[in-house]
Amino acid sequence: MDGGTITSFRNPRVKFARELLRSRKSRAESGLTLIEGYRAVSRALDAGIAFRECFYAPRLFLGGNEEALLKSLGGSGAVLTEVSEEVLRKMAYRDRPEGVVAVVETPRRGLDGLPARRGGLYLVAESIEKPGNVGAMLRSLDGAGADGLILCGAKSDVFNPNVVTASTGAVFSFPLAEASNEEALEWLRELGIPVLAATPEGAVDYRGVDYSKGAALVVGAEQYGLSGFWKDNADARVAIPMRGRVVDSLNVATAAAVLVFHAVAGRGERQG
């Protein structure tokens, strides 16, 4: 333990942590990010992420497992620092913090770190802008048992605290890579993975596709959809039929979940 409870917002370590919360530039330059909440911190620890420091406020704990988590964090080399309830609330992203906020090293993820599986199931997400959508996609992919996520032309910071929160910590454990469109396509072609571009004007109903040989499902930016690169290089353009009178497309994270869970079922894989 640090030896004393920090009660000042002006403490340099508190100010630095708050800067990681607010600034993408600070996260990029330092190679660090901020995560909060028992589940996200636990999953990051289980994934072998390097922790620098953990701030905690016992009055905000929601359960009885936080002390054991803090002991494990201390054993991993993290500095444990108690702060007041007011200070932790200022460091947290969520309106109802759970009493644990940690500074961790952000891993760098390339295609060489993805599981390369012939017949695998991957999601390619191009130019996604909203961190919450990235996090939601990671949560769905992990839940479905997919093999990996490739982010191309990412406009969203992968380790934005909102990604961590929306993914419930899966950003630290699920196979993830950042690559250019060209690099991603080459990697998929080498594995013989069919590339399916999801677009509202797609000619093929996503339910009519054979997923037995695997698939790379490609989804595009919330506002503009997929670029011509993926439409032109896809083996097929698939669509999710819309029956509404007004809505002609789904939120990108929702569309990704629909496609991935169906593809998993189409491969005959059991959910467990």
Q: How confident is the model at residue 150 (pLDDT cuts 50, 70, 90)?
A: very high
pTM: 0.87
Question: Distance (Å, rounded) from C-alpha 126 to C-alpha 220?
Answer: 5
Residue 233 host element (H or E): helix 228-233
Among 147, 167, 153, which Cα is nearest to 253's?
A: 167
- CATH architecture for segment(s) 111-266: 3-Layer(aba) Sandwich (3.40)
Question: Across-strand partners of 149?
Answer: 123, 176
Residues contacting residue 47 through CB under 8 Å, at least 6 positions apart? 169, 172, 173
**Amino acid 157: pLDDT:** 87
Residue 271, pLDDT score: 37
> Residue 85 CA to chain centroid, in angstroms?
28
Confidence of residue 36 (pLDDT cuts 50, 70, 90): very high
DSSP bridge partners of 165: none
What is the pLDDT confidence band of residue 230, given thresholds at 50, 70 and 90? very high
Q: Are 124 and 187 in contact (CB under 8 A)?
A: no
The token pair at 271 is 């959910």
Whether residue 2 is predicted with pLDDT greater than 80 in this model: the reply is no
Q: Which CATH architecture has domain 12-105?
A: 2-Layer Sandwich (3.30)
pLDDT at 159: 87
Domain ranges within the chain, ordered by starting residue: 12-105, 111-266
- Confidence band (pLDDT; 50, 70, 90) for 268? low
8 Å CB contact between 157 and 24: yes
Longest CA pairwise span in the chain (Å): 64
Can you give the length of the chain in residues?
272
Q: What is the mean pLDDT of residues 206-227?
A: 91
| pLDDT at residue 6 greater than cutoff 80 | yes
Q: Determine contact, residues 269/250, Cβ cutoff 8 Å.
A: no
Q: Model confidence at 93, in pLDDT bands (50, 70, 90)?
A: confident
The pLDDT of residue 202 is above 80? yes
77 φ/ψ sector (left φ>0, alpha ψ -120 to 50, else beta): left
pLDDT, residue 216, reads 98
Amino acid at residue number 174: F
The pLDDT, as a whole number, for residue 69 is: 97
Q: What is the pLDDT of residue 45?
A: 96
* pLDDT tops 60 at residue 111: yes
Q: How far apart are CA 258 and CA 251, in angstroms?
A: 11
- Examine domains 12-105 and 111-266 and report if their fold is the same: no
